[in-house]
Structure 1
Amino acid sequence: MNSPTATINGATMLSQAGRTVLVCGGSTGIGHGIARNYYIAGASDVIILGRRSDVAEKTASKLNEAYPGTKVTWRTCDLFNRDQAKQLWDSLEKEKTLVDVLIVNAVGQPELKPILEQGADRLWQDFENNVHAPLYLVERFYKQTGHTKQKV
């Protein structure tokens, strides 16, 4: 049986050859699926971020075995912790790793009850996690020094 995506998987317009992709929340679930599809699309490097080092390492190992043409690395980072997010981008810059594609696939789960029952502190934390933290990632991605390729 033919794959339903066989026709588009080989399309040159979808090629990610030569790109470095950073997938936040890439060790499980949807993020893992996104990372896998960048391997299929031929990305040269995929960096998986996760909060749990054992899970991120295991995912990267499996993807390295399945897609030997792509260099898979992993890093532990809690993106909701500004110091860790800053350290991530600072280390990428120090290593001269330029990210071409940024996937922000990490969110904080808000409480499912009325805002006034949650309280101002909880609501503000949700804002920090789901607006401010992703915006910081995008800002650092956008401001990478020495990057000349189109960023996605």
Structure 2
Amino acid sequence: MPLPTNSLTNTYHRDTYPAISPTKPSLSQAGRTILITGGGGGIGFEIARSFARASASRIIIVGRRNSVLDTAIEKLRGEFKDSTTEFIARQGDISDDSSITDLWDFLNSQNIFVRVLVLNAAQFTPNGNDTLRMDKRELMKAFDVNVGGNFSMSAKFIDQPLRPAGQQLNLINVSTAGIHMHPAKNQNPYTSSKAAFTAIIGRVADEHPIEDVQIISFHPGALYSEGVSKRVDKSLLKWDESKWEVIISNLSPTDRPTY
């Protein structure tokens, strides 16, 4: 199944609109700390910008490349220099359990409680049209990040020692349209591993009431991000704008109970 060319609704938005504006008072993220994996560029960076526009108290971006993180933090601090949002960058690799442990140990040592976790980091390779001819070790890299890494991050997030009793958490899984596409040419390791974690986190949602942790999995749209640009020609699709107010509009509000 290719990407759809028509819409199931009368209006199809490719950009933000007032109802989901992060500056809307009812969508304020004031008082919340947000952690975004893969937050140094592309989708993750735009997610960070949207949370900053929603007045999040602290935004932590995590990624493997220090140079990318440094550039991202400089941009965020420059754009939001008049805001009260604190921006923190931490190098980390979610495919490595010790790296994940180091990250959460650091947060605990700094007395930082994370209210919202955005699982955005992803492994796209290996690619190929014959999965059974792939090297198993290369194949498993996609599962190490997209399943194992996201699982470990989620477990650490839910079990934070600094979490106040009764405090609801918000966990956001950035999924992909690829898990619904058949065939997904040359993308089996990526789409299969993303589908696997989406299934796992859905079962986790069955186990935890929304008052404990609100879990959202969503397809982010057709975005011409840095990663996509390395594999796909821009003329292939009419791309959506890389703005992430839709995430914030679905989080449980701070000023009323969750139903």
| Number of the residue aligned with 2:221 | none
**Pair 1:51 & 2:64 matched:** yes
Aligned-CA RMSD value: 1.7
| Number of the residue aligned with 2:76 | 63
Give, in whole Å, the separation in 2 of the partners of 1:109 and 1:143. Answer: 28
Deviation at 1:4, TM superposition (A): 5.5
* 1:106-148 CA distance string (max 9 Å, x none): 1112322222111332333322221011100000000001312
Give, in whole Å, the separation in 1 of the partners of 2:85 and 2:115. Answer: 15
Deviation at 1:6, TM superposition (A): 4.1
Give, in whole Å, the separation in 2 of the partners of 1:16 and 1:44. Answer: 7
**Pair 1:34 & 2:34 matched:** no
Aligned length: 150
Instruction: Compare 77-86 and 97-106 and name the one that shifted more.
Output: 77-86
| Number of the residue aligned with 1:131 | 147
Question: What is the TM-score normalised by the length of structure 2?
Answer: 0.54
2:32 to 10, 16, 19: 19
Deviation at 1:13, TM superposition (A): 3.0
Distance 1:4 1:82, change over 3 A: closer
* 1:1-34 CA distance string (max 9 Å, x none): xx95345323333211110000111110000000
| Number of the residue aligned with 2:125 | 110
Q: Secondary structure at the match of 2:117?
A: strand
- Report if the CA contact (8 A) 2:112-2:162 is conserved: no
* 1:79-111 CA distance string (max 9 Å, x none): 212211110011111211110001111111232
Give, in whole Å, the separation in 2 of the partners of 1:135 and 1:32. Answer: 22
More helix by share: 1
Instruction: Compare 13-22 and 123-132 and name the one that shifted more.
Output: 123-132
Distance 1:31 1:123, change over 3 A: same
Question: What is the TM-score normalised by the length of structure 1?
Answer: 0.90
- In the TM superposition, structure 1's runs of 4+ consecutive aligned residues that sit over 4 Å from their partners are none
Give, in whole Å, the separation in 2 of the partners of 1:65 and 1:125. Answer: 35
Gapped runs of 5+ residues in structure 2?
1-14, 171-259
Q: Which has the larger radius of gyration?
A: 2
Gapped runs of 5+ residues in structure 1?
none
- Report if the CA contact (8 A) 2:37-2:44 is conserved: yes
Question: Which amino acid in 2 is paired with 1:129?
Answer: V
Give, in whole Å, the separation in 2 of the partners of 1:32 and 1:52. Answer: 14
Distance 1:4 1:83, change over 3 A: closer
Q: Secondary structure at the match of 1:42?
A: coil
